[in-house]
Amino acid sequence: MAQIVIMGAGVAGHTTATFLKKWLGSKHEVVVVTPNSHWNWIPSNIWVGVGRMTKEQVVFPLAPIYTKAGIDFRQAKALSIHPEGDRESEKPYINILYTGQNKENQEEKLHYDYLVNATGPKLQFGATEGLGIDNQLGEHTVSVCTADHALHANVKMQKMFEKARAGEKQKVIIGTSHGTCTCQGAAFEYILNVEHEANRAGVRDNIEFKWISNEPELGDFGMGGMHLGNMGYVMGAKLLGESLFAERGIQWILNAHVSNVESKKLQYEQVDGNMGEEEFDFAMLIPAFRGVGLQAYDKNENDITDKLFMPNGFMRVDGDYTQKPYAEWKASDWPSTYQSPLYKNIFAAGIAFAPPHPISEPQQSPNGTVITPAPPRTGMPAGTIGKAVASSIKNMILEGDKAKLHAISMAEMGAICVASAGVGFKEGQAISFTVYPIVKDFEKYPGTGRDTSRTYGEIGVSGHWIKLALHYLFIYKAKLKFGWTLIPE
Amino acid sequence: MIKEELNFEIPQFKGTMVPGKFQRSMRHCILLQLIRMSFFGLRSIGIIILNIKNEHEK
C-alpha cells in the first residue's frame, strides 16, 4: 500500500487528492494536510467583499467530504520535508503541526511514498511597510484574499458608503501593493464591484476611485497583456481595461510599487523613479505572495531547503530556472510534469511550484526596485496541473519504473477566466476571457505570443451568469457530488 | 446606475474608446446575451478540449 500525502487543500491539492482516491481506491492511502478546516471558492470572495454573498456561500467544511471519500484528513500545517528520512529510518516524511481536530499545537511525523506540495501562497502583507506584519493584514487597508478578509472588507466598505451617503467625499484606492505582486485580476474585479455597488447605493458621485498597480499597462494581469480577437478585430487588453475604467470614471496609477502604507495615506515608487503619495478613505491592496516557508532536510539533518525551493519559497520542479535575459525566455522554460528534479516522488501543483520567470517584461526603477508582476496561476491551471500530477502518481504506483508522467505546461495550456464587474441578474456584468496559451509562445505565435483566434474577451451580463454558474458548479464538484468527475477543471 | 457623464477632460481617458448608450444597453439585452453566452460556452469547451489534447505522456 502506497501512502500519498498532499499538503494543501485548495483547488490544486483538492483536485489531486480526490482524483487519486477515486483512481486508486482503498488499496492505497491518500492523506490531506491543511491548516484550514474549510474549503474556500476564492473567486467568489469578491462578492463577499461587497456584501452580495455570505461567507457560508463560499466555504464548506472539508472533514465530512474527505470522510465520505475515504481520504485521511489532517487539519495541520506542514513544517518540514525530510525526503531521505533521517538517521533512524530512510522512509521519507514530513513534520506537521496540528491546528485543529482537538490536537492543536501537537507535532507529528507523517511518512509518505509520494508527496504533493499544493500549499498555495503565503500572503506576505509584511513585505510592504504598514500593510501588515508577516502574513497578518494590518489595520489601514482591507483584503479579499480569504473569506474572513472579504467579510471585514465589506464592513469597512459599508461604513465608507455611509459617510458618502452623509455627503462626505470619499476616496477609494484598490490594486496591488508590492512591485512583484500577482493576482491583479482579483483587485480589478473588486474595484469594478465596489464601483458598481456605489452606483446601486446611490453614493457614486461622492466617491473618487483610483486603481494602483505594478502592471506596465492596464490589462497586463501579469500575463504580459493579451491581444483579444473579437468580431474580426484584434485588440490589446490595454484598450479594454482603459475603456472599462474611463467609462466608470476610475483613474489609474501604473508601474507602481507601494512602499509604505499609513492611516489613510500611501506612498509609492514608479518605474521611472517618480515618488508619489495618495490619500484614501478605503483601500484594498493585494499583498505579495511567496511560498509558505517549508523547510527541507536530508537524512543527516542538513538543511537542503535551497535545493528544493527557490529563494521565494516556491518549489523547484522540472522548469528551466537558469537566469537569462527577457529576450531569451522561451515557452519551453516552463515546467510540464511538476516533478522535483531531486526527488522523483515529490511534485508541486498550483501556486506552490516556482515559475521559471515572469510572463510580463521585467522592469526596475532607478533605485533598483523590481516592479514586475508575477505570473498568475488561477483556478483552471491549478486544477489542470493537480489532475495531471494525480495521473502521474497513479501511473508511478501502478506501473512502477516503466510509468510515464503526465505533462502539460502553462505554455500549452489555455485558461478561461471570468472577471466580475458587478452583481445582479439583469444589471450585473462580467468580462469573459479565454486565453491560449497562458504563457506566451513567440516561436509558435510570432507577434502576440498567443493564438488570437482562441484569445478572446467580451463584457456583458451573460458573463455574470457564467461566473455565478461556475460558483455553484465548482462548489458542487468540490463537494464530490454525483457526477463530479464529469465537470472539467 | 452607471455615470452618464463621461469626462474626457481627464488626460488618462482621452486616448481610449468608450461604448455609447446603445452598446451599453446591448450588454444587458437578455436575448443577445444568451446567444453570446452560448458562443462563449463553445469557446470554453474548445479550450477544455485543447487542454485535454495537449496533456501528453512523458
Sorted by where each begins, the domain ranges of chain A are 3-123+290-365+376-402
Judged against a pLDDT cut of 80, whether residue B5 lies above it is answered with no
Question: How far is residue A112's CA from residue A80's CA, in Å, rounded to a whole number?
Answer: 13
Architecture of domain A3-123+290-365+376-402: 3-Layer(bba) Sandwich (3.50)
What are residue A419's phi and psi, to 5 degrees? Answer: -100, 115
| Residue B6 maps to a domain | no
Judged against a pLDDT cut of 70, whether residue A136 lies above it is answered with yes
- Closest chain A residue to B33 measured between Cα atoms? A462
Task: Tell whether A484 lies on the interface with B, counting CB pairs under 8 A.
Answer: no
For A137-180, how does the pLDDT look when each residue is reduced to its tens digit (9 = 90+)? 999 999 999 999 999 999 999 999 999 999 999 999 999 999 99
Q: Please give the DSSP secondary-structure letter assigned to residue B23.
A: H
Do B43 and A407 lie within an 8 Å CB cutoff?
A: no
For A60-118, how does the pLDDT look when each residue is reduced to its tens digit (9 = 90+)? 999 999 999 999 999 999 999 999 999 999 999 999 999 999 999 999 999 999 999 99
Alpha carbon separation from A417 to A309, A469, B38 (Å, rounded) = 29, 13, 16
Biggest distance spanned by C-alpha atoms of chain A: 71
Task: Tell whether A58 lies on the interface with B, counting CB pairs under 8 A.
Answer: no
Quick check: A346 and A81 in contact, CB under 8 A? Answer: yes
Per-residue pLDDT at B3: 53
Mean pLDDT, residues A131-137: 96
Q: How far is A205 from chain B (nearest CA, A)?
A: 8
- Closest chain A residue to B46 measured between Cα atoms? A454
pLDDT, averaged across chain A? 96
Number of independent structural domains in chain B: 1
Residue A41 zone, left/alpha/beta (φ > 0; ψ -120 to 50; rest): beta
ipTM for the predicted complex = 0.91
Domain that holds residue B29: 21-54
What are residue A470's phi and psi, to 5 degrees? Answer: -65, -35
- Closest chain B residue to A432 measured between Cα atoms? B40
Q: Please give the DSSP secondary-structure letter assigned to residue B17.
A: -
Judged against a pLDDT cut of 50, whether residue A381 lies above it is answered with yes
Do A462 and B37 lie within an 8 Å CB cutoff?
A: yes
Judged against a pLDDT cut of 50, whether residue A19 lies above it is answered with yes
Do A459 and B27 lie within an 8 Å CB cutoff?
A: yes
Mean pLDDT, residues A198-207: 96
Question: How far is residue A326's CA from residue B51's CA, in Å, rounded to a whole number?
Answer: 27
Give strand ranges (E) for chain B: 56-57
Show residues of chain B in contact with A465, CB under 8 Å.
33, 37
Mean pLDDT, residues A379-385: 95
Residue with cell 492505497: A28
Show residues of chain A in contact with B12, CB under 8 Å.
242, 245-246, 251-252
In the chain, the amino acid numbered A165 is: R
Quick check: A226 and A437 in contact, CB under 8 A? Answer: no
| Residue B31 maps to a domain | yes
What are residue A306's phi and psi, to 5 degrees? Answer: -70, -15
Judged against a pLDDT cut of 80, whether residue A129 lies above it is answered with yes
Cis peptide leading into residue A437 (ω within 30°): yes
Quick check: A55 and A198 in contact, CB under 8 A? Answer: no
Which of B2, B17, B56 lies at the smallest CB-CB distance from A239?
B17
Question: How far is residue A20's CA from residue A17's CA, in Å, rounded to a whole number?
Answer: 5
Per-residue pLDDT at A239: 93
The residue of A196, A247, A336, A429 whose CB has the most chain B CBs within 10 angstroms, and thus the best one to mutate to test that interface, is A247
- A473 burial (CB, 10 Å; 0-12 / 13-18 / 19+) is middle
Bridge partners of residue A348, in order along the sequence:
A117
Per-residue pLDDT at A401: 86
Per-residue pLDDT at B1: 36
Task: Tell whether B4 lies on the interface with A, counting CB pairs under 8 A.
Answer: no
Show residues of chain A in contact with B52, CB under 8 Å.
488
| Residue B8 maps to a domain | no
Which of B26, B32, B43 lies at the smallest CB-CB distance from A434?
B43
**In the structure, what pLDDT confidence band is assigned to residue B34 with cuts at 50, 70 and 90?**
very high
